[in-house]
Amino acid sequence: MRVERGVEFSTDRPVSEIVALGERAEAAGFDALFTSSHYNNRAPFVALAALAEATEEPFLGPAAANPYDTHPARLASQVATLQEQSDGRAVFGVGAGDRSTLKNLGIERERPLRRVLETVRVARRLWAGERVTHDGTFACDDAGLNYRVEEVPAYVGAQGPHMLRMAGKHADGVLVNASHPDDVAWARERIAEGEAERVRDDDVDVAVYASVSVSKDGEAARAAARPVAAFIAAGAPERVLKRHDIEKKRAKAVGKHIEAGEFSAAATAVSEAMLDAFCLAGTPEEIESGFDAILDSADGVVAAAPLGPDEAEAIELISTTLA
């Protein structure tokens, strides 16, 4: 499979609203529908099951489920159930998860690269009908599924150099967590380093998981993107901040607002440089230019939250710019 034109829906709203947006996205020509995956929002696999019933063609998956708050064997079973229910349209979007959110659950995100890789390997064995005993970053003893499905494509959500290389070597696809063409080009180089040692026969599919906010009113689109840009800036590695000439002190100040629950203040503290670095935000013409630059280094795009001040309208606008 290949993800060329995907869209992500945040699960911070009722499942009925997600389904309505998913139906609109399918009608607009998107080939993949993803849902965000955080314990404090609606359950992603419930939303994906509803999307499986309401749509016919798009691939469906979490972006990205993490193998910390759910045991990897159970996660493999949830994905396999989606594969069965959707008539073979499931995508296993898997990543290390958000460190701060996992801390809410008392979970330390230890050895994330190994955890994700082991999860993909064990899932593939379970889908093939094997009994699996594993002792690594997690354990299972003679685990197996009581049903069998075709292997589901595993797309690793990645941002750092080591996870990108691992995905290039082992995954079916990569969801590159970036929105700026410079970051995407850098990520593609790291993926290529992993591809040089690739253990699978096919090529890895590289899709950019970009935060997008679009509206005919460009200023409204940029305003809608500020809260998301705040969270991204607060967690951005220093090398990324340097790449975009963003002061570490400024990003740290945004992070302090977030830690204190001062989300409006965090959004206000986002600089124009942060907004340009961490989101594609503006008019359809501006977004189209950004997509073109990103696709110089990638095979496809997944438009992720916030999408814009009017999400239904944004789906139509994004579809047109990616046509």
| Confidence (pTM) | 0.94
Question: Would you write out the chain's pLDDT as a tens digit for each of its 323 residues?
Answer: 899 999 999 999 999 999 999 999 999 999 999 999 989 899 999 999 999 999 999 999 999 999 999 999 999 999 999 999 999 999 999 999 988 788 888 999 999 999 999 999 999 999 999 999 999 999 999 999 999 999 999 999 999 999 999 999 999 999 999 999 999 999 999 999 999 999 999 999 999 999 999 999 999 999 999 999 998 998 888 999 999 999 999 999 998 998 888 989 999 999 999 999 999 999 999 999 999 999 999 999 999 989 999 999 999 999 999 97
What are residue 282's DSSP bridge partners? 214
Cα dihedral value 52, 112, 157, 69, nearest 10:
30
What is the rounded CA–CA span in Å between residue 7 and residue 306?
11
Walk me through the domains of the chain, giving residue ranges and CATH numbers: 5-210+282-322 (3.20.20.30)
Name every residue whose Cβ is closer than 8 Å to that of residue 92 and which is 6 or more positions away in sequence: 61, 62, 65, 76, 79, 120, 123, 152, 153, 154, 155
* pLDDT score for 98: 84
